[in-house]
Structure 1
Amino acid sequence: MFEPRSPKFQWGQRVKTLIELRNDGGYPDVPEDALLAAEGTTGEIVQVGMHTDSNTPIYLVEFTERLVVGCLEEEIEPV
């Protein structure tokens, strides 16, 4: 079992994407591999959770298009 990792980012924090975020199948009404947020898109963290198997933080980020996407720490950075 992995030790839980403390989140680097907090609820309400503004962030931007470091990579293109694409649909991995989590959005059933959007084609798989469709672009959800381009690299450099800004948004706000609306919830911080934990992936139970790997004990890694997951951030729900609301982007300007009112789309909420789950992100890993490697995919975002503070604005």
Structure 2
Amino acid sequence: MSRFEMGDLVYSALDIYNDPVEETGESGIPGLNPGDLLAAAGARGVVVNIGHAEAMPDEDIYLVRFETGAAGGLGDPIGCLAEELSHEPAA
């Protein structure tokens, strides 16, 4: 069973950055630079899907849309591992 379910309100447990693709060093997300901050620690988001990478079939990957900007709109989905997320806001 997953630690998080679709629709769960979650928080970023740490700063989440755009990791470069291991083989090429290029951005893993089109239009962004490798190393760009995707979600700051404590950012609030919602789980919109759950899956896994072919290379890690036993590890859940959570697609999360984090709030962005002052209006609190939701950004594009970001793939997150369970240890990058929390059910509780950072203290």
- Common fold: TM-score over 0.5: yes
User: Runs in 1 of length 4+ with deviation above 6 angstroms?
Assistant: none
Count of paired positions: 74
Per-residue CA deviations over 1:11-67 (Å, capped at 9, x if unaligned) read: 000000111111112212111101011000010000011223222100000011222
Q: 1:11 aligns with which of 6, 9, 33?
A: 6
Distance (Å, rounded) in 2 between the aligned partners of 1:36 and 1:56: 21
Q: In the alignment, what sits opposite 1:58?
A: 61
Structure 1 CA distance for aligned equivalents of residues 55 and 28 of structure 2: 18
Which structure 2 residue ranges, 5 or more long, are not aligned?
Answer: 20-26, 69-74
Which position in structure 2 is the counterpart of 1:47? 49
Matched ranges for 1:18-37 at <5 A? 18-24=13-19, 25-37=27-39
TM-score by length of 1: 0.85
Aligned partner of 1:68 in structure 2 is 77
Q: Percent identity?
A: 34
Q: What is the Cα deviation at residue 68 of structure 1? A: 1.2
Distance (Å, rounded) in 2 between the aligned partners of 1:50 and 1:30: 22
Q: Give structure 1 stretches of 5+ with no counterpart.
A: 1-5
SS across alignment from 1:74:
helix
Structure 2 length as normaliser, TM-score?
Answer: 0.75
Q: For 1:35, give the aligned amino acid.
A: L
